[in-house]
Amino acid sequence: MDKSAELPPGPDPIVRLQEVGKVYDGAVPFRALEGVDLEVRRGEFAAIVGQSGSGKSTLLNILGTLDRASEGTVEIAGGQIHEMPDEAVTTLRGLNVGFIFQFHYLLPDFSVLENVLMSVAVRKSAPSREDVREAHALLEEVGIAKEHHRRANEISGGQQQRVAIARALLGRKPLILADEPTGNLDSVTSEEVFSLMRRFNQEWHTTFLIVTHDERIAERTDRIIRITDGRVVADDRR
């Protein structure tokens, strides 16, 4: 990896939430988050853990600007999300936030390379030559460059998750949100995927926030944020 243009993680946060709450309307309104204060520095490698229904997914959606908080302030990559129109939020997300999911959500009839380029296709009419060069380089980094021409449904589950990692990183996005990224993989492939994320964190200083129910994964991160009933109840850096 070319690290010459990369800076070490600094004290400025890439994520800052203050008194964030989220209420879903309905016959009986449901409060999914309440009073969440959270600050994440650039370059951190952290886990968000909690039981099903604790608010992890809601928190991740707000961090990824896929949903808006009902109250409080949300700052992502310097943008005051709570004050920005939807179009500006979409632009900020496309430039700064990458997503890795338990189920990779690749387009099965498109090639590996085309799937990586999908992350820029939503912002541009067509990928640039530089985008294509970067996509090839990322596929090399994640170890599947030789598969670039194959359709996504022709490669293994572990390879598909590697494609998802490359897709998330295209454009050198500083913040990656990973939702149970190893939850659908066997133990050997899980280790490979975790190691890849850790390597990009250490060598590119990319910030990773990993939602997981696997305590073994969480214990290998540098910080564990625990959420219960919509509140952050513990925040431990090691």
Over residues 179-192, the pLDDT tens digits come to: 988 877 788 888 88
Sort strands 207-211 and 223-228 into parallel, antiparallel or unpaired. unpaired
pLDDT at 1: 46
Total-model pTM: 0.89
pLDDT at 199 over 80: yes
- Stretch 120-131: mean pLDDT: 79
- Stretch 19-25: mean pLDDT: 94
pLDDT at 91 over 70: yes
pLDDT interval class at 37 (50, 70, 90) = very high
pLDDT at 118: 86
pLDDT interval class at 154 (50, 70, 90) = very high
Show me where the domains of the chain are located: 44-66+97-237
Mean pLDDT for the chain? 89
pLDDT at 137: 95
Distance CA 109, CA 210 (A): 28
- Stretch 171-177: mean pLDDT: 94
pLDDT at 2: 43
Distance CA 119, CA 138 (A): 13
pLDDT at 220: 93
Return the minimum-mean-pLDDT range out of 11-15, 51-55, 72-76: 11-15
CATH architecture of 44-66+97-237: 3-Layer(aba) Sandwich (3.40)
Contact between 155 and 147 (Cβ < 8 Å) = yes
Check the CA dihedral 33-38-43-49 and report its sign.
Answer: negative
pLDDT interval class at 11 (50, 70, 90) = low
pLDDT at 124 over 90: no
- Stretch 205-210: mean pLDDT: 96
pLDDT at 3: 40
